Structure 1
Amino acid sequence: MTVPPPVDDADVPRFWGELGLPGLVDVHVHFMPERVQAAVWAYFADAETHYGAPWPITYEGPVEQRLDQLAALGVRAFSALNYPHKPGMAAGLNDWSAAFAAAHPQVLQSATFFPEPEAAHYVPEAIEAGARVFKVHVQVGSFDPRHELLDPVWTRLEESGTPVVIHCGSGPLAGEHTGPAPMAGLLERHPDLQLVIAHLGMPEYAEFLTLAERYAGVRLDTTMFATDFTERLMPFDRALLPRLAALGHKVLLGSDFPTIPYPYAHQLAALHGLGLGEDWLRWVLWQNGADLFGLPR
């Protein structure tokens, strides 16, 4: 490749500019209500207890500062993902997310849900209100995505074609319902779902590549993938690179901004370091996200 990777955040616009892109589309960004965000950051402050390794937060700061940082990086469109860890949270998070997106046009309006009777009502309401992407976190929510209370939810999402970013792999922590088996069962019931598998399904990379190969609507996001931090904990078998290359049209940039233990530029450099070519990078960094969310080509 002739375009060198970014050396730091200030160099990121040079990187995507030399690739001939208008910027970046990031499908895996978090903006949360202040109290929820504080609780998440408190959890990561004790990361050694949970993960056995420190997890310093590179972009811990006020909302406007974080928005400015994304703008400076050239992230033209991004999600603002929220997710509940118990019943009774999701509808309020959806209201907050809708208001946040309305105030910031670069934000892809996001929503979420939990296996509860009310989900059959507030998920269609969120779609009607303009939600463009949903977030589900199987490990944090500690629920089986095949839960019977979610049948009408998945049916509605399948009918509407609304993408769902779903953290369902067993990394960085395994849960009772994480891994490829529950997702394979869900897709057998709802084969036309538009799912974006967060973190490339780490550490079950091969199994989630298989689901992306099998189902037209299954995509993968690059959140934390191939970074030095993740490679120490859950390395990617480079023998899988040809399969990842072939799925280039189904891989989307994700970062986990702001709660990442390294600069944003490192994620981009890690993807560059896979050696899959500049066309692959163009699809991942801009085109796939632009196509999924109807942004200008």
Structure 2
Amino acid sequence: MTEADDVAAVRAFWTQRELPGIVDVHTHFMPKNVMDKVWRYFDSAGPLTGREWPITYRHDEDTRTELLRAFGVRRFTAMIYPHKPDMARWLNAWGTQFAARVPDCAHTATFYPEPGAAEYVGEAIEAGARIFKSHIQVGDYSPADPLLDDVWGTLSDAGVATVIHCGSGPAPGRYTGPGPVADVLARHSRLRLVVAHMGMPEYTEFLDLADWHAGVMLDTTMAFTDFVEADIPFPREDLPRLAEHRYRILFGSDFPNIPYGYREALDALTRVAPDDEWIRAVVHDNGAALLGLGDDGP
């Protein structure tokens, strides 16, 4: 499929359903040197995951931005995340600049368990950050680390959500899984968390957390696709729960770091959707509400 065919297929998906477009809460834009390092990781991910992971949209930043716009993505994110101390503040400065020059990207920020984290998280919120990213696997830290307690408190008080990669897929980390997240929610019950990748492979356990905590949401990033279903299938017995949480499930793609076309991420949703209204909520309305995009938005 050519890229023009790709664009046409994605646009057909949402226009045929009379949607105003797509809201994608899980896309990656980063400083070039960081993105290059991420791509090198995926290029060598075969031994870790047991499968090759080609980057479908390995383009420069401007091309990737214009491609999302061509797809009809009305709002997206810049999921940035540190893997060491003294990196998050620098990434946040870059995120502020990126959001200023790309207004359809929701201002995204991040953090790391280190002294001063609550301070720079507060600064990012004051600067307009609408969403934060936490990557437990790559960062190799516990979300329940005491150094993050004030961070979670600040985010909870501000009502700003965090997309958190805390499931143990595609490979487990020392602190992945629902336990550490449950510990955080026990202390910060009003915290808004978007569990990335539907929490794979601990789908059931993270749906349980959504049952128990009103602020817990889940994004569909890579879930339900053929690529993931081959090794980490979503439990069939949990399919009815997708309808129960229709207003707390949000579309995410992982663009550009996906080993298949963007349309596949959307088609995968039709295989599990209980009805067309669920598709509308997940693909557009829930993300629009989270990121502050009204029907009259760009």
**2:136–2:176 contact (8 Å) kept in structure 1:** yes
**1:82-121 matches, cutoff 5 A:** 82-121=80-119
Q: Residue in 1 aligned with 2:165?
A: 167
Aligned residues: 291
Distance 1:11 1:59 in 2: 16
Distance 1:99 1:8 in 2: 29
Q: Residue in 1 aligned with 2:225?
A: 227
Distance 2:84 2:214 in 1: 31
Matched letter for residue 68 of structure 1: E
**1:106-185 matches, cutoff 5 A:** 106-185=104-183
Quote the sequence identity (%): 54
Q: Residue in 2 aligned with 1:38?
A: 36
Distance 1:192 1:125 in 2: 21
What is the CA distance between 1:287 and its match in structure 2? 0.4
Distance 2:21 2:59 in 1: 23
Matched letter for residue 189 of structure 1: R
Distance 1:248 1:9 in 2: 27
Report the 3-state secondary structure (helix = DSSP H, G, I; strand = E; otherwise coil) of the residue aligned with 2:171: coil
TM-score (ref. length: structure 1): 0.96
Matched letter for residue 226 of structure 2: D
Identify if the C-alpha distance between structure 1 residues 9 and 231 changes in structure 2 by more than 3 Å, giving closer, same or farther: farther
What is the CA distance between 1:49 and its match in structure 2? 1.8
Find the partner of 1:206 among 204, 207, 215: 204
What is the CA distance between 1:131 and its match in structure 2? 0.5
Matched letter for residue 133 of structure 2: K
**1:13-92 matches, cutoff 5 A:** 13-92=11-90
Q: After the TM superposition, which segments of 4 or more aligned residues of structure 1 sit over 2 Å from their partners?
A: none
**1:9–1:263 contact (8 Å) kept in structure 2:** no
What is the CA distance between 1:42 and its match in structure 2? 0.5
Q: Residue in 1 aligned with 2:213?
A: 215
Report the 3-state secondary structure (helix = DSSP H, G, I; strand = E; otherwise coil) of the residue aligned with 2:230: helix
Larger mean CA deviation between 47-56 and 33-42 belongs to: 47-56
> Which structure 2 segments of 5+ residues have no match?
none
RMSD (CA atoms): 1.0
Larger mean CA deviation between 7-16 and 260-269 belongs to: 7-16
Distance 2:149 2:45 in 1: 34
**1:246-257 matches, cutoff 5 A:** 246-257=244-255
Distance 2:219 2:22 in 1: 14
**2:114–2:147 contact (8 Å) kept in structure 1:** yes
Matched letter for residue 225 of structure 2: T
TM-score (ref. length: structure 2): 0.96
Matched letter for residue 155 of structure 1: G
Distance 1:275 1:248 in 2: 9
Distance 2:111 2:33 in 1: 19
Distance 1:214 1:189 in 2: 14
Q: Which deviations, in whole Å up to 9, do the C-alpha atoms of 1:183-230 show, x marking residues without a partner?
A: 111100001001000000000000000111111110000000000110
Distance 2:167 2:277 in 1: 27
Report the 3-state secondary structure (helix = DSSP H, G, I; strand = E; otherwise coil) of the residue aligned with 2:247: helix
Q: Which deviations, in whole Å up to 9, do the C-alpha atoms of 1:10-33 show, x marking residues without a partner?
A: 221122112121100000000000
> Which structure 1 segments of 5+ residues have no match?
1-6
**1:8–1:266 contact (8 Å) kept in structure 2:** no
Q: Residue in 2 aligned with 1:270?
A: 268
**1:166–1:198 contact (8 Å) kept in structure 2:** yes
Find the partner of 2:187 among 178, 186, 189: 189
Distance 1:56 1:147 in 2: 34
Report the 3-state secondary structure (helix = DSSP H, G, I; strand = E; otherwise coil) of the residue aligned with 1:248: coil
Distance 1:253 1:207 in 2: 20
What is the CA distance between 1:126 and its match in structure 2? 0.4
What is the CA distance between 1:36 and its match in structure 2? 0.3
What is the CA distance between 1:8 and its match in structure 2? 4.4
Distance 2:6 2:99 in 1: 28
**2:273–2:279 contact (8 Å) kept in structure 1:** no
